[in-house]
Structure 1
Amino acid sequence: MDEYAWPTGPEVPAADLVRKSWETTVAALPIGARVTGEVIGRQPFGVFIRIDGVPHAVALAEITAMPQGMDLPALGTFVSGAVYWHTAHNHQVKVRLDEWQAADE
């Protein structure tokens, strides 16, 4: 299996549902909100996360928020973190993972 994978499969919300639910997602996940979820995709720039309790939301934890020397979480890993931004043009919730925050301290 390749180390990188785009989010695919029945657990990934359809793009049209993500787009249609964007306002609801932003309201449910304000900046600072705590989130948990499963890593559903990995790319060199970060990991995509399906957020528990918000079925039509996709989060992205980018490597720009990851401390040097750390590895991206594997597919299927359950992670937690905090929302730090909303990217309206591609309907993504940006998340900083707890494990990355702890490594910075």
Structure 2
Amino acid sequence: MDEYAWPSGPEVPAADLVRKSWHATIAALPVEARITGEVIGRQRFGVFIRIDGVPYAIGLAEVTAMPLGMDLPALGAFVSGEVIWHVAHNHQVKVRLDG
């Protein structure tokens, strides 16, 4: 198995549901909100997160928003952090991970 993987499988919400729920996602996860979730995708630039309590939200924690020296979390890892931005064009919640 490749160490990098795009989000896929039954735990990943369908793109149309993510898009339709975008305004509710922003309301539920304002900037500075604390989040927890599971890593559902992993790329060299960061990890995709299924955010607990917001079923149609996809978080992205880029390596530039991780503590210095932190290893890229593995698929299935549980992480926590803070919302730092909302990216409307691809309906992602940007997250800064805790150390």
Alignment TM-score > 0.5, same fold: yes
**Structure 1 match to 2:30:** 30
In 1: Cα distance, 2:14 partner to 2:88 partner: 16
TM-score by length of 2: 0.96
Same amino acid, percent of matched pairs: 82
| Counterpart in the other structure of 2:5 | 5
Number of residue pairs the alignment of both structures matches: 99
Q: Is the 8 A contact 2:67 2:97 kept in 1?
A: no
User: CA RMSD, aligned part only?
Assistant: 0.8
Asked whether 1:94 is paired with 2:94, we answer yes
Q: How does 1:61-76 map to 2 (within 5 A)?
A: 61-76=61-76
Alignment-derived partner of residue 78 in structure 1: 78
Greater C-alpha radius of gyration: 1
Equivalent residues of 2:67, 2:98 under 8 A apart = no
Task: Report the residue type matching 2:95 in the other structure.
Answer: V
Task: Quote how far apart the aligned CAs of 1:65 are.
Answer: 1.4
Q: Which amino acid aligns with 2:81?
A: G
Question: When the two structures are superposed, what TM-score results if normalisation uses the length of structure 1?
Answer: 0.91
- The CA deviation at 1:3 is 0.8
Segments of structure 1 that go 5 or more residues without pairing to the other structure are 100-105
CA distance in 1, matches of 2:71, 2:79: 13
Runs (4+) of structure 1 exceeding 3 A deviation are none
